[in-house]
Amino acid sequence: MAAVSELIELTAAQAVERIRSREIDQRALFDAYRERAAGDELNAFTWVAERAPAPGPDADAPLAGVPVAVKDLFCTEGVPSQAGSRILEGYRPPYTATVVARLSEAGAPLLGKTNQDEFAMGSSNENSAFGPVRNPWDRSRVPGGSSGGSAAAVAAGLAPWAIGTDTGGSVRQPAALCGVVGLKPTYGACSRYGMIAFASSLDQAGPLTRDVTDAALLLRHMVGHDRRDCTSVQFPGEIELPRSEHLRGIKLGVPEELMDDAEAGIEQGVRTSFEGTLALAEELGASVERCRLPHARHALSAYYLIAPAEASANLARFDGVRYGLRVDGDAELVAMYSHTRAAGFGAEVKRRIMLGTYALSSGYYDAYYVTAQKVRTKIAEDFRAAFERFDFIATPTSPWTAFELGTKTADPLAMYLNDFCTVPMPLAGIPAISIPSGLSEGLPVGFQLTGPAFSESRLLDAAYALERRIGFDGSAARR
């Protein structure tokens, strides 16, 4: 049997193969990761399974018992599901989210629940009621957010792979900052049932993995129509494992609006890595051209109206009546509501509830919410037009590499700018993947490819070809 250090160096897909060929034992793999997750010094986990499931999944099951770390936003029956919030502290749901149940049926048992920004609102994981997560590349820095726990766990080798959720970049941005692969699927590809809602029209589950092949394999078992989520659809065809070694005939568009806007403030190191990756893409046979997404620069404004509006309603259910925190109000209903929500929600969540409530208020609805929806339509049209000329749109994932803890918490707007390159895609409902394109001053940089709806297999294929050419080595973060 292989030593723990060897097990940990396997990608999840490699581990699946070796379990199926009986070279390694799924239980040994689970225990190795369980041990590492339990000794987590990054605060990436909020709960870790006590033991491997017995009996474990069939070794011939598609995912062969390779365990998965799950963002705390997903409901897991009998297991704490707290969404990073004090208001759900200790909450154990009576049911399991569809995506988690599907992975479990495919043979990926639950390894643990990962830390996150409260209700997925944040880009640094500093908004968790359970403390910030540390970036394994530099523990004084943030892992990104909101799926920071999942990204850090995969990067540090505390989990073979993980799932997160992406509303405005919450899978892709932490993947970029932690040097792993993160994919946000087409809206509707994965069921949202059992995923604690932040912004219902944007939220999608997505994989965070060590490489592109793992992302494809995990995603294959996440997608599909769910009769409990009527916004979910049958994914056309199966997610294919990527094989392409070149990018011949692929046309990449680089949007001026996202690259040149001073507001985005793309760091020089990020820019250099991005341009280097484009050069590699050309070497692989791709053509690279400038393109236009005229409304993309308004995406952030539209996003910060639509997402908070939906959140203000989605978070109304946390009222202290049926579950979660309740703080008494001297037998007075409204006081109980106020005290509970004042104590249970963190500052960023309160800020967004207020923003959203305002945007939906009588007299402001047309000016804010309706206008934002119009912008959203324009952004989707921009992408449609761009995909008539280009196969994929390429941008950096995040304008910056991982920043130091505490440096942006005082300035919410600066923090929001982190999402500049990741919010247009969920607004348009289209898929995007972030892969590590290298290091800048010792910190990972993310390269993002965006494709039309349901182009996941092609997107993964292109990302795979680039990944091989880039040859990113993330092993430093696992030590």
Q: How far is the CB of 183 from another protein (least distance, A)?
A: 21
Contact 314, 198 (CB under 8 A): yes
Candidate segments 93-101, 137-145, 152-160, 342-350, binder of another protein by CB under 8 A: 93-101
Catalytic residue among 71, 113, 184, 378: 71
Candidate segments 63-71, 127-135, 216-224, 332-340, binder of another protein by CB under 8 A: 332-340
CA dist 436 and 468 (Å) reads: 11
Binding mask 153-192 for another protein (x = CB under 8 A): ---------------------------------------x
| Cβ-proximal residues to 115 (8 Å cutoff; 6+ apart), any chain | 43, 44, 45, 46, 72, 84, 125, 128, 130, 131, 133, 148, 149
Contact 265, 416 (CB under 8 A): no
Contact 265, 358 (CB under 8 A): no
Nearer to another protein, 253 or 324 (CB): 324
Residue 331 CB burial class (10 angstroms; 0-12, 13-18, ≥19): exposed
Question: DSSP readout, 356-420?
Answer: HHHHHSTTTTIIIIIHHHHHHHHHHHHHHHHHHH-SEEEEESSSS-PPBTTSSTT-HHHHHHTTT
Scanning residues 348 to 367, which ones bind another protein (CB under 8 A)?
357, 360-362, 365
Is 374 near another protein (CB under 8 A)?
no
Nearer to another protein, 36 or 102 (CB): 102
Q: How far is the CB of 323 from another protein (least distance, A)?
A: 7
Candidate segments 57-65, 89-97, 105-113, 292-300, binder of another protein by CB under 8 A: 89-97
The question of whether 200 is a catalytic residue gets the answer: no
Nearer to another protein, 84 or 179 (CB): 84
Nearer to another protein, 316 or 476 (CB): 316
Scanning residues 58 to 77, which ones bind another protein (CB under 8 A)?
74-75
CA dist 55 → 58, 59, 384 (Å): 9, 11, 48
CA dist 162 and 180 (Å) reads: 11
Is 146 near another protein (CB under 8 A)?
no
Is 83 near another protein (CB under 8 A)?
yes
CA dist 211 and 229 (Å) reads: 29
268 CB-side CA count, 13 A: 1
80 CB-side CA count, 13 A: 19
Is 479 near another protein (CB under 8 A)?
no
Is 316 near another protein (CB under 8 A)?
yes
Helix (H, G, I), strand (E, B) or coil at 68: strand
Is 313 near another protein (CB under 8 A)?
yes
Nearer to another protein, 373 or 440 (CB): 373
Contact 251, 289 (CB under 8 A): yes
Nearer to another protein, 130 or 274 (CB): 130
The question of whether 361 is a catalytic residue gets the answer: no
Is 327 near another protein (CB under 8 A)?
no
Contact 153, 69 (CB under 8 A): yes
CA dist 288 and 253 (Å) reads: 6
Which one of residues 115, 124, 312, 455 is an interface residue with another protein (CB under 8 A)? 312
Nearer to another protein, 138 or 323 (CB): 323
The question of whether 71 is a catalytic residue gets the answer: yes
Is 241 near another protein (CB under 8 A)?
no
Strands laid side by side in the 204-209 sheet: 45-48, 110-114, 68-71, 161-166, 204-209, 181-184, 432-440, 443-450, 392-396, 251-255, 287-291
Is 95 near another protein (CB under 8 A)?
yes
Is 330 near another protein (CB under 8 A)?
no
Catalytic residue among 123, 147, 170, 398: 170
Task: Give the residue numbers marked as catalytic.
Answer: 71, 146, 170
Residues lying near another protein in the complex (CB under 8 A) are found at 74-75, 81, 83, 88, 91, 93-95, 97, 192-197, 199-201, 227-231, 309-310, 312-313, 315-319, 321-323, 331, 333-334, 337, 357, 360-362, 365, 369
